[in-house]
Amino acid sequence: MSSSVIRVRGLTRTFSPVSGPVHAVRGIDLTVGRGEILGFLGPNGAGKTTTLRMLTTLLPPSGGEAEIAGRDLLRDPAGVRRRIGYVAQSGGLDPACSVREELVTQGRLHLMSKGEAAGRAAELAADLGLSGLMDRPTGALSGGQRRRVEIALGLVNRPRVLFLDEPTTGLDPGSRAELWDLVRRVRAEHSTTVFLTTHYLDEADALADRIVVVDAGRIVAEGTSAELKRRHAGDPGASLQDAFLAITGRATAGQPLAI
């Protein structure tokens, strides 16, 4: 992790409903290194989803500056999009399309020729264990298989940064473990930076090299899992849930009070 791939300074976002301004993000400063897996955590309403939407160009910032994979977020959002992959929590596969069609279409959207898109689809299928599913409609896949296809779509353009928004929500424990292994392998084989949001604190504990906790639109804690446990729960042997509760006073949405 020799260089920074994400640099954010003073990032803000204010919404202006009729009832008055809402300051969702209040000055985020953040640096993420090449090949780092960052866990970005926070309770509901903390600003993490708004921050993720800004960094993936889905929502313009109200202020501040950011550089993603060498491209300026404000001046060159199209350049940012060419260099990132984004896997949304809600998915987005067409249940009538085959896995092959989804992957080839994504390649074409990234301006690949038909041959290049087909080759990239085959390469990703082999890497992600999808080769036997290429002609199956995505609507006939299991939850874990669909998630692998969605991650493959996020990797079509060989991104320098992969944004994963709640990637294992709704998956069974076995599928979650398989997806964790996949994320680790993507990082190890391609030095891809992974920006992960999750409500599962055991997931952040298992995957993230470093964890950032946001609350009320600001970063309130950051460090390795062990550092957060020692600093905020008083014991590196404590659970990340203990540290999170000490930091925010709240559990994450749907998270039990113990991991």
Strand segments (E) across the chain:
4-15, 22-33, 37-41, 63-68, 71-72, 84-87, 161-165, 193-197, 210-215, 218-223
| Assigned domain for 9 exists | yes
Domain that holds residue 13: 4-92+160-248
| Assigned domain for 113 exists | no
For 48-100, how does the pLDDT look when each residue is reduced to its tens digit (9 = 90+)? Answer: 999 999 999 999 999 999 999 999 999 999 999 999 999 998 878 999 999 99
| Assigned domain for 61 exists | yes
Strand segments (E) across 110-234:
161-165, 193-197, 210-215, 218-223
Considering the chain, what percentage of its residues have pLDDT values greater than 70? Answer: 95
The pLDDT value recorded for residue 236 is 75
Question: What is the arithmetic mean of pLDDT over 188-209?
Answer: 95
Encoding tokens for residue 235? 């014991």
Inform me whether the pLDDT recorded for 103 exceeds 90.
yes
Encoding tokens for residue 242? 């203990």
The pLDDT value recorded for residue 89 is 87
The pLDDT value recorded for residue 249 is 85
If you average pLDDT over every residue of the chain, what do you get?
92
Please, which residues bridge with residue 7 across strands? Answer: 31, 67
Total tally of structural domains belonging to the chain: 1
Please, which residues bridge with residue 220 across strands? Answer: none
What is the Cα–Cα distance from 170 to 175, expressed in whole angstroms?
10
For 208-256, how does the pLDDT look when each residue is reduced to its tens digit (9 = 90+)? Answer: 999 999 999 999 999 999 999 999 988 878 899 999 999 998 665 545 4
The pLDDT value recorded for residue 23 is 95
Domain holding 169: CATH number? 3.40.50.300
| Assigned domain for 141 exists | no
Task: For residue 259, name the pLDDT band (cuts at 50, 70, 90).
Answer: very low
Inform me whether the pLDDT recorded for 13 exceeds 50.
yes
Query: Are 259 and 205 in contact, with CB atoms under 8 Å apart?
Result: yes
The pLDDT value recorded for residue 120 is 97
**What DSSP designation does 133 have?**
G
The pLDDT value recorded for residue 235 is 82
| Assigned domain for 109 exists | no
143-155 vs 99-109: helix axis angle to the nearest 10?
Answer: 20
Inform me whether the pLDDT recorded for 182 exceeds 60.
yes
| Assigned domain for 153 exists | no
Query: Are 73 and 97 in contact, with CB atoms under 8 Å apart?
Result: no
